[in-house]
Every structure is written in structure tokens, then in C-alpha cells.
Copies of this chain bind each other. A is one copy, B any other.
């Protein structure tokens, strides 16, 4: 069965990111100051973020130029390939056509460098010396460490302790790139110490690690904070995925009926979906979007759309998003990543406005789909990416049941070479499904801030 690949030349690398805010009929809800509850000003964020990134966060310009220095770095592995999954279609015996965009060809093996590189670039351009950030399984931390090394910045990564201990290899990659990695909660910050004093055995969460990194940036004038998902400017940087995919679908002489992305903070989903949604909003063809999240962290499908903090220590501004509450700590035996308590405000807004469906899938189904994909297509997906694979497989089987030949596009956001333990556990029958219980969700949500 022939490989069907759509490859773009270097000069097809997008020159501008696409900003969905320009085309949304309903504007994003305001971001609120955590102390006053009033909308924040851009200047409130300057202790934390590079100015250029704050501008992008609030911009409603449709197209924002990608600096040449950023494009030059991205060109090392971009444009990434788009494939038709012919062998998978055959295995599923589906009349659907399945396309996937493959972001695992980046040096760190995921889509995260798409935003790590511009974030490091803008910070260096503004004279910053050091970056603090958080990471869960480590896709983001390793990508940022790489980007910081390229631009000569120090990189300090707070890594969720359970991952720090269970997954030393992404940490090793950060250290190989010259980054410094600290298990969170740690005794290096007030927020970390506060949590450890209450619970010395706390295994951490993204919300806690964000608190620590934000605190370091807020207290050190030469340091800024970077986030690997959630924020508008991160969604913006990831649109390079969907923009390339648009050109590649055109090469294929086809257009997606449905686009599937997995969602943790939302950035790879936004990256592939937003340029197509923008087309639709500007009068182009309608496309069904599908966000797939783990049943163990069902932010979009079980969490309300509400104002909440981005972190556990409540240091960040309040943003309106689908959330399970900033105190949410995902179950330790969930192996599939995508563990953030909230969801990007832009993704939450898109789902809230009815432009996208959302679906939670259990991890066993995801790993099974990941293996089916690997055996058909050769590429072993990251556990996060198996959620998108599982969603695409569900859609392909629906097409089969309905006898419809729809075109399905999904984002394969990273390879699974760092995640073999999860596949071993799955193949050994050690993984179980875990749906986050309704009662616990209700309890966590009772703690949402009153706005």
C-alpha cells in the first residue's frame, strides 16, 4: 500500500501566524486581576511575560508576522509532513479518508517547539536572561530547554513530581539541553513550601508547578515566565500546524469534514483547528471540530465554563475557561498525559460557542488505538496523541456504520519514544480506566472563585 505524503517546500512555511480572535463574532471574555476582580491591563503582565508576547495575547489582528529568526529555526524540521493513513483505513475497513499531520519530527519529538522557539526569541530580544516554566510529562520543558539553549537563555523547569520520579528521561533531555529541572512542589518557592508543609508527600500537579514558576519570575527582574499551552499567544504560535495543513489538504485536492485534536491545555488542537475554523467564520466551508480529552481529566466535558485561576496558589489572573477547579490533581495511574485542570480560554470559548464538539475517551481505548495506528502506519504516537488517534478511529468507524466517505484530519502531535513505560504497562494489562468521579468534580468546583 503506497505511502501518500504531502510535503511542502521550505518557502511554503507560513510567514504569519493566524489569530482567531480577529474572526470570532463574540469576543473572548475579559481576563480579570486576581486581587481586584477587574479586567487586567497589559501592564499587569509585564513582570511575567515578554512585551511582544503580551501584545500577541491581546491582539485582534488577523495575521501576525513570524520573525525571520523564528522561521529560520523552525525550518530545521518544518514544514512537517501530512500523510494519508491508507494502511489504517484498510485495517479499519472504512470508507472514510483519514489524513494526519505529523509533528513528531521536531528535535524534541512534539509540537511544543512551535511556541518554545518564538517565546525564547522574544524574551532574548527584550534582554531577558532567564526563563522559568513548568512541565508535566516533559514535552514542553524539553522543548523550551532546547529553544533557550539556541537563544542563549537559562531555563529553569518545575516538573510535576510524580513525572519527575516516574519519567526521568524527559528530564534527562532537558538537562542534555542545558536546562535545570526541579521536582515540584519544591522548597525553592513560597508556594512550594506552603504545599509541602501541609502535605510533604504531595506528588504535584501542573497547577502547583505553574505557581512555583510564576513566583520565580515575579520575584526576579531578569527572569520571565513561559507557558506551553493555555494562553492566547501559545494558540497563535501553534496555528502554523493548521496553516500548513490547509496547503497540504489543497495539494491532496480534499478538505476535511472533521478535524480531531487531543486537548490538555488545548494548544495542539487549536494549532490544527483554528485556521480551518477561521476560514469557516469568514464564509468558507464548514468543518466539524472534535476535541478529545482523557476521561480521567474531563475538563471540557465535565467542567463548567467559569472564571478560575490558572494555578493552584492562585497567583495567576482569572480566566474564563472550562475547568475542574484549580485544586484538581489528576489520578496518578492515568498514563495518557493531558492532565491540566483547565482549558485554554480560546478553546473553551470555541467549544462554548458551539463551534466544536468535545469528547472524553478512556485510556485503554486510546492505547489500543495507538497500537493499531503504530502497526498500520509505523509511527508510535505519544500517549497524548493517542487520544486524537482514538477520536479519529471512532469517526472512521462511524463513517463505516453510516456508509459515508468523509474526510477526517487529525493532529499526531508527537511520537511515543519517551513513553514506552506507558505502552509496556498497557501491554502488560497494568493500566485501568478511570473516569474522574462526579462527586469529586462537584467538590472541586464548589471551590471556584466567586466572580
Chain A interface residues toward B at CB < 8 A: 1-3, 5, 7, 9-10, 72-76, 83, 87, 105, 107-109, 146, 149-150, 168-169, 172-173, 175-178, 371, 374-375, 377-380, 415, 417-418, 420-421, 423-424, 427
Find chain B residues with CB under 8 A from A375 CB: 149, 176-178
Q: Within the assembled complex, what's the spacing in Å between the Cα atoms of A173 and B3?
A: 22
Which residue of B2, B177, B374, B418 is within 8 Å of A177 (Cβ)?
Answer: B374
Find chain B residues with CB under 8 A from A178 CB: 375
Query: Residue of B at shortest CB range from A146?
Result: B378
Would B175 and A73 count as touching, CB distance under 8 A? no
Q: Within the assembled complex, what's the spacing in Å between the Cα atoms of A190 and B238?
A: 56
Would B3 and A75 count as touching, CB distance under 8 A? yes
Which residue of B2, B173, B424 is within 8 Å of A380 (Cβ)?
Answer: B173
Query: Residue of B at shortest CB range from A426?
Result: B176
Find chain B residues with CB under 8 A from A177 CB: 374-375, 380
Find chain B residues with CB under 8 A from A417 CB: 109, 169, 173, 415, 417-418
Find chain B residues with CB under 8 A from A7 CB: 9-10
Would A420 and B173 count as touching, CB distance under 8 A? yes
A-B residue pairs, 6 tightest by C-beta: A169-B420, A107-B378, A172-B420, A417-B417, A3-B76, A2-B72
Q: Copy number of this protein in the oligomer?
A: 2
Find chain B residues with CB under 8 A from A374 CB: 176-177
Find chain B residues with CB under 8 A from A75 CB: 3, 5
Which residue of B10, B73, B105 is within 8 Å of A105 (Cβ)?
Answer: B105
Find chain B residues with CB under 8 A from A378 CB: 76, 107-108, 146, 149-150
Find chain B residues with CB under 8 A from A150 CB: 87, 378
Which residue of B146, B172, B420 is within 8 Å of A424 (Cβ)?
Answer: B172
With contacts A105-B105, A107-B379 known, is A420 near B168, CB below 8 A?
Answer: yes
Would A371 and B176 count as touching, CB distance under 8 A? yes
Find chain B residues with CB under 8 A from A175 CB: 423-424, 427
Find chain B residues with CB under 8 A from A176 CB: 371, 374-375, 380, 420, 423, 427
Find chain B residues with CB under 8 A from A371 CB: 176
